[in-house]
């Protein structure tokens, strides 16, 4: 009976597996973008102070100084974080929807082959970012599961077990597939430098989101 269910589920792998990989990476990208929110606010403040000093030098441009106040600065900082996250989603999460499953052995062989042929470091930015962001996503999802289990059932040990199981399963089942698909996608992807500008800070932030 259980196997029959498993077989039926197996028929829809081509749908839920890519969607799961995409969702995992999206969760990780949000965790990473959220980590740098405060730093972005400081950065926006510095940039605004710099431009205020310039605008206030001439009477014509003086009104521009008050155009951007604290409300707008806070909004800008959050909007930058949002745009950054959505750009990262477009670069590394959406391509995972095209994941086509192969035998694990074949995926491993193909992955090594792709790695060997990826001479430019720019080609490795996407897979590396996907790997680290997916790891951050796995940590986030596992934490959410722990919180939900622990607060619903009031069993601390069960929450910890659920977290460990989800984290381990996601690291074994989903994260390597996300990295493999990204490696495959990086071979044909364009805009390498633009992608690196967006993804390099994100992969550093993703490490900050691991917990």
Q: Which residues inside 94-133 make contact with other proteins, applying CB under 8 A?
A: 105
93 Cβ partners below 8 Å, 6+ apart? 22, 23, 25, 26, 29
- Which residue in 65, 68, 118, 124 binds other proteins (CB under 8 A)? 65
Binding flag, residue 155, other proteins (CB under 8 A): no
Query: Minimum Å distance from CB 165 to other proteins?
Result: 10
Q: E-strand spans in the chain?
A: none
Selected from 23, 110, 114, 122, the binder of other proteins by CB under 8 A is: 23
Cα distance between residue 199 and residue 72, in whole Å: 26
CA distances from 199 to 36, 44, 105, 114, 179 (A): 13, 20, 29, 20, 14
The stretch among 59-67, 124-132, 181-189, 192-200 that binds other proteins (CB under 8 A) is 59-67
CB-based contact 127:182 (threshold 8 Å): yes
Asked if 14 interacts with other proteins (CB under 8 A), we say no
Site for other proteins (CB under 8 A): how many residues? 71
Q: Interface with other proteins by CB under 8 A: which range of 114-122, 124-132, 162-170, 193-201?
A: 162-170
DSSP for residue 93: I
């Amino acid at each position: 009976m259980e196997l029959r269910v498993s077989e039926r589920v197996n028929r829809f792998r081509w749908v839920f597996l890519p969607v799961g990989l995409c969702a995992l990476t999206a969760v990780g990208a949000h965790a990473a973008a959220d980590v740098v929110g405060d730093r972005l606010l400081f950065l926006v403040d510095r940039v605004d102070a710099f431009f205020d000093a310039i605008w206030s030098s001439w009477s014509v441009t003086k009104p521009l100084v008050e155009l951007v106040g604290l409300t707008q600065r806070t909004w800008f900082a959050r909007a930058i974080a949002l745009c950054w996250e959505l750009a990262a989603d477009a670069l590394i999460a959406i391509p995972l929807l095209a994941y086509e499953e192969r035998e694990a052995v074949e995926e491993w062989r193909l992955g090594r082959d792709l790695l060997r042929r990826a001479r430019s470091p720019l080609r490795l930015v996407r897979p590396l970012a996907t790997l680290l962001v997916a790891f951050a996503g796995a940590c986030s999802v596992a934490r959410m599961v722990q919180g939900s289990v622990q607060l619903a059932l009031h069993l601390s040990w069960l929450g910890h077990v659920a977290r460990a199981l989800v984290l381990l399963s996601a690291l074994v089942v989903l994260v390597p597939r996300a990295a493999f698909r990204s490696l495959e996608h990086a071979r044909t992807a364009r805009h390498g430098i633009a992608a690196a500008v967006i993804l390099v800070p994100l992969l550093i932030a993703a490490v900050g989101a691991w917990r």
